[in-house]
Amino acid sequence: MLQDKITQYTAEINAFHTANADELEQFRIKFLGTKGIIKDIFDEFKAVSPEEKRSLGKVLNEFKQLAEAKYQDLKEAETEVSAGKDAGMDLTLPGEAFEVGARHPLALVRREIVDIFSKLGFVVAEGPEIEDDWHNFSALNFPEEHPARDMQDTFFIKKGGEKGDIALRTHTSSVQVRMMEAGQPPFRAIMPGRVYRNEAISARAHCFFHQVEGLYVDENVSFADLKQTLFYFVQELYGEGTKVRFRPSYFPFTEPSAEMDISCTICKGAGCPLCKYSGWVEILGCGMVDPNVLENCGIDSKKYSGFAFGMGIERITNLKFEIKDLRLFSENDSRFLKQYKSSLI
Ligand code: PHE
């Protein structure tokens, strides 16, 4: 009986809220007043059996403390509100809500890529965005004055220097060089990061974008390992059944080199504007690390072999979310960014 009453009043007290002085006074009289509920309950308590007293005593005290604490809290708040009123402010008016932010779609996709490769034992490596010629080009087997350097329109910062010109890195392959120079195989890492190229800004190109490159060097690493790794990656990212195909290509730092296409994520290969009705879209470049690159980084190319790959996060994201204009990624238009709120984890 008494326990039921206490349970019921506890709920009432917990639900009670006011910033109004009269309502608060009524609350005080009802519960804490000389003829109030707490007084009544304590009177009733005197009449219960000794066993019940033992179990109920603590409950009763907690109930009393709850009512007193509630009153104190509301009283403090009420005092602040009336002080505000005296000063010409109404503190009971609703404030401006802070909006919950959303993760940037590129960050979401980068995380997903990192998660997939980490399941295969790849760790994340990072390096500087301002690079010297050695790490961005020469160590990667780009000969001096070779037209291959023009494949990547470089933003130069400073001419000359011990390790050549200083520039904004054009790819995160520079991080692969730094990693190999700093140790000995096995290496199994991915390198996410921002890269820069001097291109006119349009829906399809930007002067900076984001890459994830990967490197795997050990004894007996073969092209089959490369294919299986990337096949697994694509199944995880775009779903089981996504097809892949490799086309021969050229990069100075890999031999043989390839570009990898996947079956179009929009039309599933049937043909649509995104895949230019071919059913395939290119997503990355890859190949076996050129022995010259291994030697440049102090690694015995007779003993070790490896593969590398590199992809643009923007492209991967466009295919996932069907975003058609690259500029949206850097304009910070909240109407665009908000759409990804549901993906906030
Ligand atoms: N670094 C290349 C690029 O930026 C991508 C790539 C990386 C290709 C590794 C092959 C192997 O275009």
120-168 pLDDT, tens digit each: 999 999 999 999 999 999 999 998 877 767 667 888 888 877 778 899 9
Query: Which listed CATH number (3.30.930.10, 3.90.1150.10, 3.50.50.60, 3.40.50.2300) goes with 105-343?
Result: 3.30.930.10
CB of 172 shorter than 6 A to ligand 1: no
Kindly compute the dihedral angle of the four CA atoms of residues 314, 319, 323, 328, in this order, to the nearest 10 degrees: 0
Ligand 1 centroid – CA 119 distance (Å): 22
Ligand 1 atom with least separation from CA of 151: 12
CB of 286 shorter than 6 A to ligand 1: yes
- How high is the pLDDT of residue 341? 63
pTM for the model: 0.73
Which residues are 38's β-sheet partners? none
Per-residue tokens: 330: 């850097």
| Mutation probe of ligand 1 site: the residue of 135, 171, 282 with most atoms within 8 A of C-beta | 171
Ligand 1 centroid – CA 309 distance (Å): 6
Per-residue tokens: 186: 């096995």
Strand order in the sheet with 280-289: 123-124, 187-196, 208-218, 305-312, 280-289, 254-263, 244-251
CB of 251 shorter than 6 A to ligand 1: yes
CB of 310 shorter than 6 A to ligand 1: yes
Q: How far does CA 119 lie from the centroid of its chain?
A: 17
How far is it, in rounded angstroms, from Cα 264 to Cα 276? 10
Q: Is 255 annotated as a binding residue?
A: yes
pLDDT digits (tens, 9 = 90+) for 91-126: 778 888 877 778 899 999 999 999 999 999 999 999
Put residue 145 in one of left, alpha, beta given phi > 0 → left and psi -120 to 50 → alpha.
left
